[in-house]
């Protein structure tokens, strides 16, 4: 399999998993605690198995699909906040890639674990700061809408990023070299 086909196949497969969870997850109460870890896991597995651009591609597409399929009253605000979600996703992808690449010990999980930890904290910090600024700077946001947005994009982001990182690390460890990106 050529690198291009591997990239496209793995990216498309992981994106399909993300979209399926986003669409069907809306039927589950408190779905953010299920869908969020799956999305974060897919971002990291894509990065590890198909390269940085695979993780970035899913970082961009997933929030837009979620925003456009969202029927909640705050959906237009989530769509407006999507660029920040994209950046938050890219932050965890970049941190994960950087620390995995620095750890050259065969079979070691150290780089993955550090990448997940650092990336999760940075993503959380960025999104919390961005949503706080967004809700105070965008006119017309009602107090209950601001509270809902801040609730969505604060500590749950840290939890879902860490949980997704744990899932991704387990998947990558179980898959071994068969899923490893060689680029």
Q: How many domains does one find in the chain? A: 1
CATH of the domain at 67: 1.10.1760.20
pLDDT truncated to tens, each residue of the chain (183 aa)? 688 998 999 999 999 999 999 999 888 877 889 999 999 999 999 999 999 999 999 999 999 999 999 888 899 999 999 999 999 999 999 999 999 999 878 778 999 999 999 999 999 999 999 999 999 999 999 999 999 999 999 999 999 999 999 999 999 999 987 777 766
Residue 160 structural domain: 3-179
- HEC-encoded secondary structure of the chain: CCHHHHHHHHHHHHHHHHHHHHHHHCCCCCCHHHHHHHHHHHHHHHHHHHCHHHHHHHHHHHHHHHHHHCCCCCHHHHHHHHHHHHHHHHHHHHHHHHHHHHCCCCCCCHHHHHHHHHHHHHHHHHHHHHHHHHHHHCCCCCHHHHHHHHHHCCHHHHHHHHHHHHHHHHHHHHHHHHHCCCC
Q: Is the pTM of this model over 0.85?
A: yes
């Amino acid at each position: 399999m050529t690198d291009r086909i591997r990239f496209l196949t793995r990216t498309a497969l992981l994106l399909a998993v993300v979209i399926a969870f986003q669409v069907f997850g809306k039927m589950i109460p408190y779905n953010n605690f299920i869908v969020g870890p799956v999305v974060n896991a897919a971002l990291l597995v894509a990065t590890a198995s198909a390269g940085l651009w695979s993780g970035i591609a899913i970082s961009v597409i997933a929030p837009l699909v979620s925003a456009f399929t969202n029927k909640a009253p705050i959906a237009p605000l989530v769509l407006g906040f999507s660029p920040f979600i994209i950046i938050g996703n890219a932050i965890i992808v970049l941190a994960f890639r950087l620390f995995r690449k620095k750890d050259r010990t065969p079979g070691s999980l150290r780089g993955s674990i550090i990448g997940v930890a650092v990336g999760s904290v940075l993503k959380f910090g960025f999104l919390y700061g961005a949503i706080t600024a967004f809700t105070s700077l965008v006119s017309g946001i009602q107090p209950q809408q601001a509270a809902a947005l801040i609730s969505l994009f604060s500590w749950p982001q840290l939890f879902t990023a860490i949980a997704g990182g744990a899932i991704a690390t387990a998947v990558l460890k179980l898959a071994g070299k068969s899923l490893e990106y060689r680029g």
